Amino acid sequence: MSEHPQVTFSIFSGTSDVIVDRLDKGLLDLAILLEPISTDKYHKFVLPREEKWGLMVSQQSYLASKDSIYLEELVGVPLLCSLREDVQKMFQSHEALQDRQLNIIGTYNLIFNVFSLVENRVGSALTIEGAMANRNTSNVKFLPIVPEISTHCVLVWKRNTILSPSVNKLLEKFLQAFQA
């Protein structure tokens, strides 16, 4: 922000539960979270980029010959899934499964922790396509889920909290940039 050269900010990355906890304690002013997530107690701005969900598979997997995968085809496949209950419920409650259970053999908090597990065919990971960006994907492949399941990232900040002038200015700039 060239208009305010003395103002700096810090970016903290973590799982949504850690980020929400810090936001609730006043240790963070703003947060970007990946849906599905409860945002009832926050002001929310939905970011325009859509995140498509799919399955990260090993290039050696029998599934790697596919271009996409139907959710019902995942029944019986050893899956690695986000430990977030909201994400697991998003898949488990999908009408395409018709009360069949997914075979979740493990959970992760951050997707980069499971790349080697997928590469070595321990399981396939339910994830967003954006998680594959800037990664060596020569040993893995992303299969979008059909019908498409997509979510967004949301910018949130606590309700009934007075933000500092610096945070207000940053929020204003952020909102302007994404509403343009």
Whose structure tokens read 């309700």? 159
pLDDT surpasses 90 at 20: yes
Where are the CATH 3.40.190.10 domain residues in the chain?
A: 16-48+152-179
HSE-up of residue 147 (Cα within 13 Å, Cβ side): 4
What integer pLDDT is reported at residue 180 of this predicted model?
A: 53
Average pLDDT (148-154) is: 94
Assign a CATH topology to domain 16-48+152-179: D-Maltodextrin-Binding Protein; domain 2 (3.40.190)
> What pLDDT sits at residue 132?
85
pLDDT reported for residue 96 = 82
Residues 6+ apart with CB under 8 A from 71: 91, 94, 96, 97, 145, 146, 147, 149
* Contact indicator for 38, 89 with CB cutoff of 8 Å: no
List, in sequence order, every beta strand (DSSP E) within 36-149.
42-58, 69-70, 79-82, 104-108, 124-128, 140-146
Q: What's the mean per-residue pLDDT of the chain?
A: 91
pLDDT tens by residue, 29-69? 999 999 999 999 999 999 998 999 999 999 999 999 999 99
The answer regarding whether domain 52-150 maps to CATH 3.40.190.290 reads: yes
Q: How far apart are CA 170 and CA 163, in angstroms?
A: 10
pLDDT of residue 1: 56
The residue-averaged pLDDT of 159-168 equals 90
Query: Where are the domain boundaries for CATH 3.40.190.290 in the chain?
Result: 52-150
Confidence at residue 135, expressed as pLDDT on a 0 to 100 scale = 79
Relative to beta strand 69-70, strand 140-146 is parallel
* pTM confidence score: 0.86
Q: What are the tens digits of pLDDT across the range 89-129? A: 999 888 888 778 899 999 998 888 899 999 999 999 999 99
Q: Which phi and psi (to 5°) does residue 137 adopt? A: -110, 20
